[in-house]
Amino acid sequence: MKTKMLLAGVTAGVMFAGSVLASTLDDVRARGKLNCIINTGLAGFAAPDDKGNWTGFDVDFCRAVAAATLGDADKVNYTTATGKTRFTKLAAGEGELLSRNTTWTFSRDVDLSQTFIGVNYYDGQGFMVPKALGVKSAKGLDGASVCIQTGTTTELNLAEFFAGNNIKYNPVPIETNAEAQELYKAGRCDVYTTDASGLYATMMSFDNPSDHMVLPEIVSKEPLGPVVRHGDDQWADIVAWVLRAMMAGEEKGITSKNVKELAAKDNKDKEINRLLGKDPLQGLSKLGLSADWAVNVISQVGNYQESFEKHLFPLTIKRGMNALYRDGGLHYIPPIK
């Protein structure tokens, strides 16, 4: 029954969305707020702070899109979604943007009616163990009990990794992250496995994070990125270029501290001028954005590096694959011309 309702929801959402999608930007401007779908709670990515405000790496991206389109990063309504409900909520029009550590896969991009606009975090499935276990590599986990959060590709990656290395394990499948953490803490499992970013976030919520460690093996590709509804190219372009503007900020050394100063003067690097609205950027009017869109993003939210360091460094996450290409990472953005 639940499944049928879900299907009906998706269908209704698709039909409904078809008539409204013509201009998502106009909808957002008319409302004066961006509706953004985020995680129900994952430290570092989307979690309420002590004042009850949503904060985190994924939340920053919602704020950046609001800053670019509305000129104010605070004009965001947040809607939370679980792994199962996120696509339904996006399709049903409960938000214009899904910024919730969502893995970009072929079938999600093609089969369901949505568009992935890029990768803001390269992730992969990893293993967390107590340091007391004395294990240094996932290949040393022969015979271990492994807690898994079900409902994703996690089970398959796990089975393939252990079978590939010819070692045995005992799976303990659990529905939610919270329940799985409890079992891990109680010692029901030797190992907890999910996306590495989730492992770091989980670890930080423990009483003694330093008693645990994430093993070096990453057993899957999980490129995480923001998602929009299929069919509005203008909106997809806006969201994609907001992400690139944040990365360009890091690449060109534009930070929330110096962005106003750089925007006011004529820079030697003309790309900075075009990004910050000093020199004309051809086609910007087609996106429906004002010339100071990138200045708003970087001054109110910060560049990619600032957001990463603010939210993910406290979780002891390193830049690794998420560094810019020139620093040995994977983030490489098209030129702003």
Handedness of CA 132, 135, 140, 146 (dihedral sign): positive
CA distance 62 to 71: 13
Which residue type sits at 94?
Answer: E
**H runs (alpha helix) in the chain:** 2-20, 24-31, 57-70, 86-91, 106-110, 154-164, 177-186, 196-204, 233-252, 259-264, 270-275, 284-287, 293-300, 304-311
Among 171, 231, 288, 329, binds other proteins (CB under 8 A): 171
Q: How far apart, in Å, are the Cα atoms of 59 and each of 35, 65, 92, 96, 204?
A: 12, 10, 21, 14, 19
CA 226 to chain centre: 6
Q: Using an 8 Å Cβ cutoff, are 96 and 242 in contact?
A: no
Count of positions on this chain that bind other proteins (CB under 8 A): 37
Q: Check residue 151 for interaction with other proteins (CB under 8 A).
A: yes
Cα Rg of the chain, angstroms: 21
Identified binder of other proteins from the candidate list 190, 222, 232, 250, rule CB under 8 A: 190
Does 144 contact other proteins by CB under 8 A?
yes
Shortest distance, position 106 Cβ to other proteins, whole Å: 13
* 90 makes contact with other proteins (CB under 8 A): no
From 22-30, 172-180, 197-205, 291-299, give the range in contact with other proteins by CB under 8 A: 172-180
| Residues 230-259 within binding reach of other proteins (CB under 8 A) | none
- Decide whether 116 or 169 has the Cβ nearer to other proteins: 169
Least distance from other proteins to the Cβ atom of residue 1, Å:
9
Q: Which is nearer to other proteins, 52 or 134 (CB)?
A: 134
Q: Is 172 in the site for other proteins (CB under 8 A)?
A: yes
When asked if residue 169 is in the footprint of other proteins (CB under 8 A), the reply is: yes
The answer to whether residue 156 forms part of the interface with other proteins (CB under 8 A) is yes
How far apart are CB 252 and other proteins at their closest, in Å? 43
Binder of other proteins out of 31, 131, 188, 257 (CB under 8 A)? 188
One-letter identity of residue 187: G
| Distance separating alpha carbons of residues 183 and 172, to the nearest angstrom | 9
Token duo for residue 19: 């008539």
Where does this chain bind other proteins (CB under 8 A)?
Answer: 3-4, 6-8, 10-11, 14, 133, 141-145, 150-152, 155-156, 158-160, 162-163, 169-175, 179, 183, 186-188, 190
